[in-house]
Structure 1
Amino acid sequence: MPNSTLKSMDFERKNLSDDTLLELYKNMLKPRLIEEKMLILLRQGKISKWFSGIGQEAISVGVTMSLNKEEYILPMHRNLGVFTTREIPLFRLFCQWQGKVSGFTKGRDRSFHFGTQDYNIVGMISHLGPQLGVADGIALANLLKKNNKVTAVFTGEGGTSEGDFHEALNVASVWQLPVLFCIENNGYGLSTPTKEQYNCENLADRGKGYGMESHIIDGNNILEVYTKVSELAADIRQNPRPVLLEFKTFRMRGHEEASGTKYVPQDLMDVWAAKDPIENYQEYLIEHQILSQEKEVELKEEIVHEINEALEKAYAEDAITPNLSTELDDVYKAFVYQEVRPNSEAQELRLIDAISEGLKQSMERHDDLVIMGQDIAEYGGVFKITEGFVEQFGKERVRNTPICESAIVEAGMGLSIAGMKAVVEMQFSDFVTSGFNPIVNYLAKSYYRWSQQADVVVRMPCGAGVAAGPFHSQTNEAWFTKTPGLKVVYPAFPADAKGLLATAINDPNPVLFFEHKALYRSIREDVPADYYTLPLGKASLLKEGNDITIISYGAGVHWALETLENNPEISADLIDLRSLQPLDKDAIISSVKKTNKAIILQEDSLFGGIASDLSAMLMEECFEYLDAPVKRVASLETPIPFDSQLEQQYLAKGRFEEALKQLLSY
């Protein structure tokens, strides 16, 4: 029998059937019994870590049962009930937690850091905040498809302190996206109590600041959760809008089991123990003769049997045998490049015009492609690359965004999860720092972790030579070439830019597409008028010679061309990399083996740049062919200055010719 001293909650069944009332109970009971088993296994050393949701089951179960199975849910650590209510086989869950191949991440991640398209669940990453913006992207896809679907995303009260929370709510409100933002206010962020997390009475009050409807719900009352969320979800499907929900609950165990609960006052634990969502609801069902004690025992025995059977099966599965090619092959989603040759005559275009034309033709080719960025709609972007796009494609697909780079990158990820494509324009590549986390931790790692492609291109207007100073002139490609899972493209010519941009958009992997601002209007060449593609990872040999190999990309290519024009006696291979990841290693190595000398020119500062990796590669692969050390030429180890004279001193351009001649005479 349940503890008779418990204070009964006010359960209102409204028009719910007995079957629904029992289903709610069973769906709460299942994660509770699994958790109790996990705590035993943790003490036995059979699992390494556990984040307990005991006492919070009503929220996970109530929200999940309120949504249709084809609607996405983005849960957190303490939302086991989401996974079990969506009827994921326990065998697969247990394999996930044990790092077995039948889990969802092939042993590459643990606990709830995974998603599954089969059950429309998108798991969190440890940084907490990014999933809120991802939910925006999924909801945006639903809005564009007019499919009347709701998306639910969870966070804790601690996560509401992150900037991503505020960005995601703001975007959702401005765009009126059908999202349920579910805050599980469970008292503590690890050991930090709510009074040290925020200084408003209720987190739901924050909805007012975003012009967003909000509600406070008793997170331990399963009937209140289920009926209220069901009502809201039904209304949002017909009247799309975001809603902020604050579920009042409590974390009865530690942040994770190792942290314990010594920092929690005992009287507070006692108060919330009396509000246990399962024991109170069980008492209610028995009191109203909806559940018998015999049925209760039967349900528990049935679930315990299912747990034990699945555990035995999971334990019996062999441990993962590391396979090098499998690991490397799963960093990127396989992409079969399809060459599209141009059929039209060429026309002379500037680099900026070629990028605009390539983007427009990709929009025409892909009806599911959405462009997002600051001022890109009617204004056409600060560089006017998207000028006229709104008139052709409409504001649904050419979307002005608030100044919130993080949430917009995350929204691009959400569009990809929902089967669409996204191009995100950073107004300047320097501003990518505000969206750095979702690029390097979410986009880059999603396919490797749970086979979810990130079909997102981030356009990066970059580079110096325009007297724009330290915050508008960086060329920061090395931040991303270091990150497995990202592709990095950096064209130097209009025809290359157009064809490579088309391929980047076709590629289902995340691509950072760098566009040098100083080249936008200074470089012209003939460009095919119609749509065509060029392969990523294929360098261009601009000049052929025998004395030395010059390797560069972006503006550096033009500096090298100018130097060679001024020194016609120099016989050099000039390689324009075009793509930094993937990298055309064969073209570089074969050239250096022929010329026996190599010089690498980059606009970025020297230390940690891609020139260093290329130099190391050549020393390893071509050492016996080299007649001199590999030379690197780069910009100064300072931020980029504003004054034109200081900028010229900063840039590598002014030092390249001398370095080239010194290497030739070595």
Structure 2
Amino acid sequence: MMKPEISPNILFDYDRKDLDDETLKMLYRGMLKPRMIEEKMLILLRQGKVSKWFSGIGQEAISVGVAAVLDKDEYILPMHRNLAIFTMREIPLYRLFSQWQGKANGFTKGRDRSFHFGTQEFNIVGMISHLGPQFGIADGIALANKLKNNNKVCAVFTGEGGTSEGDIHEALNVASVWQLPVLFCVENNGYGLSTPSNEQYNCENIADRGKGYGMESHIIEGNNILEVYTTLNNIVESMRENPRPVLLEFKTFRMRGHEEASGTKYVPTYLIDEWGLRDPLINFEQYLLVEGIISEEEIETYRAEFKQEIDENLDLAFAEPTIESPISNELNDVYKEFNHQEFKENSETENIRFIDAISQGLKQAMERHDNLVIMGQDVAEYGGVFKITEGFVEAFGKERVRNTPICESAIVSAAMGLSINGFKAVVEMQFADFVSSGFNPIVNLLAKSHYRWSENADVVVRMPCGAGVGAGPFHSQTNEAWFTHTPGLKVVYPAFPYDAKGLLASSIEDPNPVMFFEHKALYRSIRQDVPTDYYTIPLGKAAVLKEGTDVTIITYGAGVHWALETLEQQDNISADLIDLRTLVPLDIQAIYQSVKKTGKVIILQEDSMFGGIASDISAMIMENCFEDLDAPVKRVASLETPIPFAASLESNYLPKEKFKKELLNLLSY
């Protein structure tokens, strides 16, 4: 039987290759269902029953093709316009509808909207509005797959506008260097919100960038479902045999606005008309009819089936009550529950430096957790700039001790991906100052994920910090206040070798993200007898180093040693000296108990004053212990300047000498 001529209404030369009729019908149904859901959502949006909508009409073939070629246990990381990913994974529609209405049967307990969610049940990882970290998460998921040697692939989406973000470039480079099996899917629909592509990038095709990354790339007609499906099927089969990243540019068009409120007035009418003729669903439907693969009656049956499913599930979602959540629930969901398991120290000790305690604690954690991966610049053969991981490659191999390119943001995001796929990660910032280059995924991804969709970030970010070593403005900051202000992060800041080792072990045990500060000036200047075996110290428990009745001194990090030195010089002062050790969670009970006893408080921090944690502790004491105070709470901190290089200037900057003066003034108040 001769193949019929292509209908004038069909703009694609479909090549079914060896696909059977059932596969073709599956692809058609895969596009029809999200299209019908979207059409219903647009009605509900006009009725005020849905608050916002990002339409993927005209782009369904891409999502359907990707979802169809991946196994159900392979992760997909979609964006706003990838409804078909969720429907192809057969998520119950009432749960999607509840999500879009902010109700309890959704995936975020009303805490986030639209497609800003993920679900381990369906191996989907949702986006954040910052877009770029999504590619880095995919790197981490793929790295975990590679470490498991499971021949799995993951796929991640972005739009052509998102490719301008630095996180995207970082993640593509990392994936290429590490040969990670990721399908990087760029839906090029011509506009980043209202900004056309020629104002987004200056190259003909995004796929051309693959050459620069040393990465295989392809341009695919995104509205031709058979081209999408067959091309991807071949690529994915090849990637499973030969793990590697592949950059895919899907040429397509967004038939509606960035979101419905945006409209499409900025788009020339002729473009909308041209792409309207290239509608992936209508063209494929006509092809199936012409080929006799499907009948009008079957199409009506599919439509009736989907309409009933949509209506029934909408009824379930509408009937669901408005979500209510006690404040206790909201607070409890910021972190994943962690029941600290105590590993008691052994009696055998050795006198070691602060830096040795960090190295020893990290090494013993690697021995205890075979799913722990260390990542950072120069941490492998070189052992890190401070030599903390020296010898680790020989002990654990380069798969688990990984040098990274200079790209803090992508590596933090990759750590999140590792966590999603069953690993623990320790990321070393070469210096705490450099964390600013990875700030976005820390505060918007690691910190918020558990609260948003119950996905924890099992990540420790090590932060060599602090002044006193003549390192100048870019290698001396103690920037803990950036993170104590961010709900969802834990912040640890030890002052002694014993605490550093035990708290690092606990931080790695903890399934929540931990910022672990290590003062560089203490690395080789402080020694202590430290148990040789693995042990833990619970987070959130301060250490009372001295007990007295005249004054309460609250500090942490290098400030602890400045306070000890001052008390040795002023042996007539009877003081409670509290080493906070962890800033989040904060041992409030220990603070209040001491303040109620002494009546006078001085808080010492190395960071500059304004916006620092000393200000918060002072306010807490004033609000809760005011009647127990015999004097105003005193704060002592460094100058409100960047950290200078010259030794004399750095000495003037730090609060060590000022602390002595202010302590004596407070005692004489």
TM-score normalized with structure 1 length: 0.99
The amino acid that maps onto 1:518 is: A
1:482 aligned partner: 485
- How far residue 458 of structure 1 moved from its aligned partner, in angstroms, is 0.1
Structure 1 segments of 4+ aligned residues over 4 angstroms from their partners: none
Are residue 218 (structure 1) and residue 221 (structure 2) matched? Answer: yes
Separation in structure 2 between the aligned mates of residue 290 and residue 164 of structure 1, nearest angstrom: 44
Residue in 1 that maps onto 2:107: 104
Distance 2:12 2:270 in 1: 19
Q: Distance in 1 between matches of 2:318 and 2:610?
A: 48
Q: Give me the whole-angstrom Cα distance separating, in 2, the residues matched to 1:652 and 1:611.
A: 13
Counterpart among 144, 147, 155 of residue 147 in structure 2: 144
2:88 is the alignment partner of 1:85: yes
Matched, 1:659 2:662: yes
Choose the corresponding residue for 1:245, options 235, 243, 248: 248
User: Which residue of 624, 643, 646 maps to 2:646?
Assistant: 643
- 1:109-148 correspondence runs (5 A): 109-148=112-151
Q: Is the 8 A contact 2:7 2:290 kept in 1?
A: no
1:9 aligns with 2:3: no
Identify the range of structure 1 (8-17 vs 349-358) with the bigger mean alpha-carbon deviation. Answer: 8-17
Residue 603 of structure 1 pairs with residue 606 of structure 2: yes
Mapped partners of 1:291, 1:300: distance in 2: 13
Amino acid aligned to 2:484: T
Q: Is structure 2 residue 29 aligned with structure 1 residue 26? A: yes
Q: Distance in 2 between matches of 1:106 and 1:660?
A: 49
Task: Tell whether 2:42 aligns with 1:39.
Answer: yes
Aligned counterpart, 1:267: 270
Contact 1:478–1:610, Cα closer than 8 Å, also in 2: yes
* 2:466 paired residue number: 463
Separation in structure 2 between the aligned mates of residue 380 and residue 223 of structure 1, nearest angstrom: 50
Q: Counterpart of 1:236 in 2: which secondary structure?
A: helix
Name the structure 2 match of 1:618: 621
Q: Is the 8 A contact 1:286 1:292 kept in 2?
A: yes
Corresponding position of 2:405: 402
Are 2:271 and 1:307 aligned?
Answer: no
Which amino acid letter does the alignment assign opposite residue 479 of structure 2?
N
Deviations 1:7-46 (A, max 9, x none): 4311111111110100000010000000000000000011
Partner of 1:257: 260
2:456 match: 453
Displacement after TM superposition at 1:344 (Å): 3.9
Q: Which residue of 2 aligns with 1:187?
A: 190
SS state of the match for residue 317, structure 2? helix
**Seq. identity, %:** 75
User: CA separation in 1, counterparts of 2:663 and 2:189?
Assistant: 64
* 2:578 is equivalent to residue 556 of structure 1: no
> Which whole-Å CA distance do the structure 2 matches of 1:501 and 1:322 have between them?
34
CA offsets 1:335-384 (integer angstroms, 9 cap, x no match): 00000002241100100000000000000000000000000000000000
Contact 2:550 2:667 in 1 (8 A): yes
The answer to whether the Cα contact below 8 Å between 2:10 and 2:287 also exists between their aligned partners in 1 is no
Partner of 1:504: 507
Structure 2 match to 1:293: 296
Partner of 1:529: 532
Q: Distance in 1 between matches of 2:386 and 2:347?
A: 27
Query: SS state of the match for residue 436, structure 1?
Result: helix
Contact between 2:10 and 2:286, CA under 8 Å: does it hold in 1? no
Determine the C-alpha separation between the residues in 2 that align with 1:475 and 1:159. Answer: 32
Q: Is the 8 A contact 1:354 1:495 kept in 2?
A: yes
* AA of the residue aligned to 1:254: G
For the 8 Å contact 2:155–2:182, the answer to whether it is kept is yes
Secondary structure of the residue that 1:216 maps to in structure 2? strand
CA drift at 1:453 = 0.7
1:514 matched to 2:514? The reply is: no
Whether the 8 Å CA contact 2:562–2:656 is kept in 1: the answer is yes
2:65 matched residue in structure 1 = 62
Pairing 1:587–2:602 present: no
Paired residue type of 2:325: P
Matches of 1:8 and 1:476, distance apart in 2: 58
What SS does the aligned partner of 1:54 have?
Answer: coil
Q: Residue 473 of structure 2 aligns to a residue in which SS?
A: coil
8 Å CA contact 2:540, 2:584 repeated in 1 = yes
Alignment of 1:230-241 (within 5 A): 230-241=233-244
Aligned-partner SS, 2:121: coil
* CA distance in 1 between partners of 2:325 and 2:565 (Å): 50
Q: Where does the alignment leave 5 or more consecutive residues of structure 2 unmatched? A: 1-5
**Residue 322 (structure 1) shift:** 2.6
Contact kept in structure 1, 2:483 and 2:489, CA below 8 Å: yes
- What is the alpha-carbon distance in structure 2 between the residues aligned to residue 593 and residue 147 of structure 1? 58
Q: Contact 2:160 / 2:186 at 8 angstroms: preserved in 1?
A: yes
Contact 2:94–2:313 (8 Å) recurs in 1 = yes
Q: Distance in 1 between matches of 2:213 and 2:191?
A: 25
How many angstroms apart in 2 are the aligned matches of 1:268 and 1:117? Answer: 39
1:246-301 per-residue CA deviation (whole Å, 9 max, x = no partner) reads 00000110000000000100111111000000000000000111110000000001
Segments of 5+ residues of structure 1 without an aligned counterpart are: none
Tell me, in whole angstroms, the C-alpha distance in 2 between the residues paired with 1:230 and 1:323: 48
Q: Could you say what secondary structure the match of 1:118 adopts?
A: helix
Specify which of 376, 387, 391 is matched with residue 373 of structure 1: 376
CA drift of 1:200 comes to 0.3
- 2:581 pairs with 1:574: no
Q: How many residues align?
A: 664
Aligned-residue offset at 1:6: 2.8
Matching residue of 1:355? 358
SS in 2 for 1:69: coil
Secondary structure of the residue that 2:183 maps to in structure 1?
Answer: strand
Alignment check: 8 A CA contact 2:31 2:84 kept: yes
1:242 is displaced (CA, Å) by 0.2
Q: Deviations over 1:181-226 (max 9, x none)?
A: 0000001000000000011000000000000000000000000001
Question: Contact between 2:9 and 2:286, CA under 8 Å: does it hold in 1?
Answer: no
* Alpha-carbon distance in structure 1 between the residues aligned to 2:111 and 2:269: 38
Q: Which amino acid in 2 is paired with 1:403?
A: I
Structure 1 residue 4: Cα displacement: 6.8
Question: What are the superposed Cα offsets for residues 625-663 of structure 1, whole Å, 9 maximum, x if unpaired?
Answer: 000000000000000000110000000112000000000
1:230 Cα deviation after fit: 1.0
Q: 1 CA distance for matches of 2:118 and 2:237? A: 25
Distance 1:238 1:637 in 2: 57
Q: Which residue of 1 aligns with 2:3?
A: none
- Rounded to whole Å, the distance in 1 between the matches of 2:631 and 2:360 is 44
* CA shift digits 1:408-447 (9 cap, x unpaired): 0000000000011000000000000000000000000000
| Mapping for residues 194-213 of structure 1, pairs under 5 Å | 194-213=197-216
Contact kept? 1:6, 1:275, Cα under 8 Å: no
1:55 is displaced (CA, Å) by 0.1
Distance 1:37 1:184 in 2: 24
- The aligned residue for residue 334 of structure 2 is 331
8 Å contact from structure 1 (residues 640, 650) kept in 2: yes
Q: Confirm or deny: 8 A CA contact 2:481 2:613 kept in the other structure.
A: yes
Supply the distance in 2 between the matched residues of 1:612 and 1:11 (Cα, whole angstroms): 67
CA distance in 2, matches of 1:498, 1:305: 60
**Deviation (angstroms), 1:5:** 5.3
